[in-house]
Amino acid sequence: MHEMSVAVEVCRIAEERVGAALLRSITAIGVEVGDRSGLDLARLGLCLGTLLGAPPFGHARPAITLHPGHDLRVAWVDIDQGDAGNRARRTAPAEPELAYDWSALLPMFVAMEVSA
């Protein structure tokens, strides 16, 4: 399932962003998905919700928004700071090193189908 592999990668990026020690403190992860990415948003939300509701996360929720284009990007990660609902948001860098342009893979998939 393609969406599950994307969800696993989103979780890996979140861990890279906040560190392993804070994974249980994550309350939400904002993911921007391109409308031409080829991803099924309902399936991605289900896969991501399942992973974020289990250890090492525990209670985080996905916040998926649709944008024009092919990219998928982890835009932000919300972290519960522990005191009376105090939360911090870690946003993506201005130059998104964590963005993916799925259109670059399309020629490969077309070639695979033609040769099959």
Q: Which two tokens stand for residue 72?
A: 């998928």
Q: Tens digit of pLDDT for each residue in 5-28?
A: 999 999 999 998 888 998 999 999
- Whether 67 shows a pLDDT value over 70: the answer reads yes
Between CA 43 and CA 7 the distance in angstroms is 10
Contact call for residues 107 and 62 (beta carbons, < 8 A): no
For the chain, percent of residues with pLDDT exceeding 70: 69
Domains and CATH numbers, the chain: 2-115 (3.30.2320.50)
pTM: 0.73
Between CA 101 and CA 107 the distance in angstroms is 13
Position 71 confidence tier, pLDDT thresholds 50, 70, 90: confident
Residues whose CB is less than 8 angstroms from the CB of residue 39 and which lie 6 or more positions away in sequence, other chains included: 2, 3, 6, 33, 72, 102
- Whether 39 shows a pLDDT value over 60: the answer reads yes
